[in-house]
Amino acid sequence: MLDTLISEREYLSTAYHPDVDFVDGHIEERNVGEREHGELQWRVSYLLKRQRFAAYIETRLKVSATRYRIPDICAYAERQTDSVLKNPPLLCIEVLSPEDRIHRTARVAEDYLAMGVATVWLLDPLERKAYVVDAIHGLHEVKENIAAADGRITFTLEEIFSSEDVFC
């Protein structure tokens, strides 16, 4: 985390490459994934869109009055019209990179839950493991299926981590 305080206005008007989170006046760098990270982002986004959900990749999400996060993927029942997303998604998904630390990932998931997101998925493309974070069960690994709290979004881990090309 950088020590310099910046305003929300400055954050929103600045293009960061890669983009960064904004937490209480500070910017927080995010880990940029490798090929496996990007492929999993696209695959899950495609699977969500195939089930008629609006999926957004790395789009700013205002999680509180003083915080913006950039989920790897977030899903809505309907297309959003704001440039910066403000409504709680049905689901936020973080694809883990080798450099990710559980402490930071847990803080990010807590921000999503506090915003009103019912379910957060943490997907590890290298270990082919999946975790769910929700207000009732906390953080837990899932073994066969992964679902949003309301059950509208459900996939098998085989669908998520398959090496089959979904773009053919």
Instruction: Domain count for the chain, please give it.
Output: 1
pTM above 0.85, yes or no: yes
Residue 103: CATH number of its domain: 3.90.1570.10
pLDDT at 100 over 80: no
Domain hosting residue 48, numbered range? 33-161
Is 4 inside a domain boundary?
A: no
The residues near 123 (Cβ < 8 Å, ≥ 6 apart) are 40, 44, 93, 94, 95, 96, 129, 130, 131, 160
Give 113-147 pLDDT, tens digit per residue.
999 999 999 999 999 999 999 999 999 999 999 99
CA–CA gap between residue 84 and residue 6 (Å, rounded): 18
Helix intervals (H) in 15-123: 35-50, 102-115
Phi, psi of 121 (to 5 degrees): -105, 140
Is 12 inside a domain boundary?
A: no
CA–CA gap between residue 94 and residue 80 (Å, rounded): 20
pLDDT at 39 over 50: yes
pLDDT at 164 over 60: yes
